[in-house]
Amino acid sequence: MPRTALLVSAALLTALLSPTASHAADDPAPVPVDRFEGEVPFASQPAEGIFTWGSGTDDPPALQLTARSDAPEGAEVLAGSYDIGGYGGFTHDYASTEPAHDWSAHKGIRFWWDGQDNGKKVAFEIKDGGANGEASELWTTSFTDDWTGWRQVEIPFTDFVYRTDYQPVGGIDHVLGLTGMWGYAVTLPVGVKGRFAMDDVELYGRADQSLRANVTTDAAVYPVKEGGTAAVKVTVATTGSAPIDDPVTVAYETAGGTADPGKDYTPVSGTLTFPAGTASGTSKTIEVPTLRDKAAESAETVPLKLTVTGAKAPAETPQVVVDAHGLPYLDAKLPVRKRVADLVSRMSLAEKAGQMTQAERGAVGDGGDIATYALGSLLSGGGSTPTPNTPEAWAKMIDAFQLRARATRFQIPLIYGVDAVHGHNNLSGATVMPHNIGIGATRDPRLAEQAGAVTAAEVRATGIPWDFAPCLCVSRDERWGRSYESFGEDPALVQSMETVIQGLQGRANGRDLSRNDKVLATAKHFVGDGGTEYGSSTTGTYKIDQGVTKVTRQQLEAVHLAPFETAVDRGIGTVMPSYSSLDVLGDGQGPVKMHARADMINGVLKDRMGFDGFVISDWNAIDQLPGDYASHVRTSVDAGLDMMMVPYTYKDFTGTLVDEVKAGRISERRIDDAVSRILTQKFRLGLFEHPYADTTGAAAIGSPEHRAVARRAAAESQVLLKNSGGLLPLKKSEKVYVAGSDADDIGNQSGGWTLTWQGSSGNITPGTTILQGMREAGGNLTYSKDASAPTDGYDVGVVVVGETPYAEGVGDVGNGHSLQLSAADRATVDKVCAAMKCAVLIVSGRPQLIGDRLDGIDALVASWLPGTEGEGVADVLYGKLPFTGQLPVTWPRSESQLPINVGDASYDPQFPYGWGLTTLTRVPQGGATTLRALALAATAAERAGADRTGRELVAEARLLVQQKVGQRITEPVAKPFADADHLLLTGRYGEAVQKLTEAYRAA
């Protein structure tokens, strides 16, 4: 068939199938955007070009310009293939060195698409405003590939909506102006191998006023106390802020809803007129009076129907809500228990199901589904942030979601949760603390509490009352990608750091939760997530994360359950089960996913330990249970889970839960228990009285006072492993050569869970790098990242190397990560340490294998992931503060030793658990005689309950032993040395000194 005939056939098909394809005779000529004839190169900014992108190295599609005889326009088309696991697509950006384009004269954008009839949605975005194509607002829509062969897809600009789940910029004006356009992007389907072809992208049609002008209301919901008057502000606005050309009318009337006209409110109707020439942004107000009666009532709705002529109407009908009033659960003077019982007695099954549901903020868009499904909770996953990512924007976003909850019958407030695992780490500019492994290295429970208090204050000041922290995992294998989320490998160390719970929540009785600087905390991940066996994971390419923990009942109790018992005693408000499976040897069950273990959640946590908070699932975790979806819901709820984190499947969950209860497969008693637990915490948080953000503490976010706590934590977390010749602390008079990949990288030193789930390298958030901290300390420095600068003439080198960020199973050793320094890092260490005396700082979430280079290194520091306050690292390097940190985990000689932990029968590490040299501190003299005296004194302190004295005596003994041992760490030294630190943490001070004496003799 000749090409011209093909074009005619395609055009005729389009006209038949797409009613939008007809065009007015006076429409302007189409304006080409892409003809795909080679006029736009494959290139990225600043040049104009087409480029691909994706979530990983395998996800960007393969693109080429291909000659095809059936090309709808010209001789070539853009063709490609794809196999996307995360996300991927391609972009055409205009040159950032040239002015943006003006598309405002046109109706929309269209292109030819070679359909594969795969039934998949293809997302199409356009870029508006900002400095360039990669710093512009994204407006999105989609079409479904459900045909075969070429078809012209026409998309009016009115179809595009502002992306709420992701924006690359801090917000411009949230208006599709069309006068500053930078191009478009196509996101291809996920989870299916495919190919595509595209041709002739162009602007079409003539813009009309309904495209350029729109009518909005200042809110979607207008709560008002009974007898008050709601004021609905109606605004007309235009893209580009030009006055309207033609009149715009808005007819309004109150109709429908659950309120009774004449009894609950006075009906209103009428018309607002905005004459031609009205300035953009002009507003008029509609008042809806409500009426007072004497009855106690739940909330009632009054929809205000708006009919707009001459402009685009609001996306939804605004609702006036007469607040619930006079009901017992609203009486703040009543005990929480009575308020909960009253409210639960009034709720429908659907409303209870909604309270048990947690959705992701990106899934609910503007939030209309919050009322539709009576949702009880929202969360921000890692990196799910508002635009711009500021405290004000967080508070405004959460307040907007809370406003939606006011449209529900009982106006139950949302509880919003976030993973603030080392500070308010999703928020740009927040104070980012060292990760938990560094906090464990401080051995400072008071500092852990202070870090929790700073985190709570910054989180609550942005309107968030709930933190998915702390992680109480006991990390038993450093190959685990989450090992840095643990305080350490010893349950006694983890328990000692649980003062962080009081920092987050306040007093154990929950009376501080309503304060504007406290949050509900979450103990995670129950139970045994730190003990999974390497190679047991069945999640994607993970190796150990989400695997199987095989333990005896005694090991389970002593190692993994003990921290949760402490958390319950400290009043922890919520608990999150682990993705992992638990295999208790001898119980006959085999490996069972923790989200299904009723014996552990109901039996141990709730019944035996007396946990009275609520249990929240992990992200989509119930989907990992065996069976169909109904069994996922049934099994997890019956196991004792009270709220489900079902980020994007909240509709399926609520519907299935209701069906299971109606069918009698889940008891209503279990539902009432779950909802009662959730509501109890909402009442304790004061959310019913104060659902909106209290931002009075926002000025303290990232403040010098808060950063001072993080700086101290960074300093105390530094563990000095080796210090030949007293190289550290540095002298300000010394000429220092600084090198290494992590010396000047705030992203690397902060690690995963910083701004995004996985974190990233680079200047991602305000803070001070280690290099900057050294400069501010007054050091005489030269910096060369890769040590390419000449190395002659320096007194000492400081090489800062280590890991790049990762999180969860993505960071498992064997999943693209190892315990070895990178080749570049090894080369930098070798070059600097061969040229001068050197100190090597390892920035990492776990030990790195350094034994083959240890002889050539004069001083070695485990810096962990110190967060945004690199000045804290400089404080100990230059002697402003002493090195006092101790290893929270065993530092292995080789990977073949793993797992290796304190208490093992065979124990021969590079550095034992508890090891940590000090500076600026006098080491006791006298050897074995001194140790005998210290043992007697420590035993006496233990008997007298003088814990502080006991700890100080053990610390003196440890310093004495470390001085004698030096770097001659053998198994007879390491085993009793590590055991001593465990004994210290369990209050057995006399035995601890005896173990240290054993290590001293072995040395």
User: Which residues are designated catalytic?
Assistant: 618, 808
> Which residue pairs from 491-494 have beta carbons closer than 8 angstroms and sit at least 24 positions apart in sequence?
491/558, 491/559, 491/560, 491/562, 491/563, 492/562, 492/982, 492/985, 492/986, 493/440, 493/443, 493/888, 493/985, 494/440, 494/562, 494/563
**What is the chain's alpha carbon radius of gyration, rounded to the nearest angstrom?**
32
Separation of alpha carbons 183 and 475, rounded Å: 48
Q: Could you give the count of Cα atoms lying within 13 Å of 467 in the half-sphere of its Cβ?
A: 34
Task: Copy the structure tokens of residue 169.
Answer: 């910029």
Distance, C-alpha 508 to centroid of its chain: 26
Separation of alpha carbons 504 and 518, rounded Å: 6
Determine the residue type at 708: A
- With 0-12 / 13-18 / 19 or more C-beta atoms within 10 angstroms meaning exposed / middle / buried, residue 294 is exposed
**Which of 179, 8, 163 lies closest to 87, judged by CA?**
163
Q: What is the DSSP letter of 214?
A: E
Beta carbons within 8 Å of 976's beta carbon, 6+ residues apart: 995, 996, 998, 999, 1002
Buried b (16+ CB within 10 A) or exposed e, 751-790: bbbbbbbbbbeeebbebbbbbbbbbebebebebbbebeee
- With 0-12 / 13-18 / 19 or more C-beta atoms within 10 angstroms meaning exposed / middle / buried, residue 632 is buried
Q: Tokens 């080369």 identify what position?
A: 827
User: 681 with 519: CB under 8 angstroms?
Assistant: no
Q: What is the DSSP letter of 602?
A: I
Task: Copy the structure tokens of residue 68.
Answer: 């095809």
Task: Copy the structure tokens of residue 918.
Answer: 């000090």
Separation of alpha carbons 433 and 867, rounded Å: 5
Separation of alpha carbons 330 and 308, rounded Å: 39
Signed CA dihedral, 87, 88, 93, 97: sign only: positive
End-to-end CA distance of the chain: 91
Separation of alpha carbons 19 and 654, rounded Å: 38
Task: Copy the structure tokens of residue 183.
Answer: 């191009």
Q: What is the dihedral of CA 644, 649, 654, 658, to 10 degrees?
A: -110
Separation of alpha carbons 653 and 637, rounded Å: 11
Q: What angle do CA 328, 334, 337 make, to 5 degrees?
A: 90
Alpha-carbon separation of residue 669 from 134, 632, 676, 773 (angstroms): 53, 19, 10, 58
Q: Could you give the count of Cα atoms lying within 13 Å of 500 in the half-sphere of its Cβ?
A: 34
> Which residue pairs from 326-331 have beta carbons closer than 8 angstroms and sit at least 24 positions apart in sequence?
326/295, 326/296, 326/297, 327/296, 327/297, 327/298, 327/410, 329/410, 329/688, 330/688
Q: Coil, strand or helix: which one is 676?
A: helix
**Which of 236, 206, 217 lies closest to 309, judged by CA?**
236
Q: For 466, phi and psi rounded to 5 degrees?
A: -140, 130
Biggest alpha carbon–alpha carbon distance for the chain? 105
Q: Coil, strand or helix: which one is 144?
A: strand
Signed CA dihedral, 746, 750, 751, 753: sign only: negative
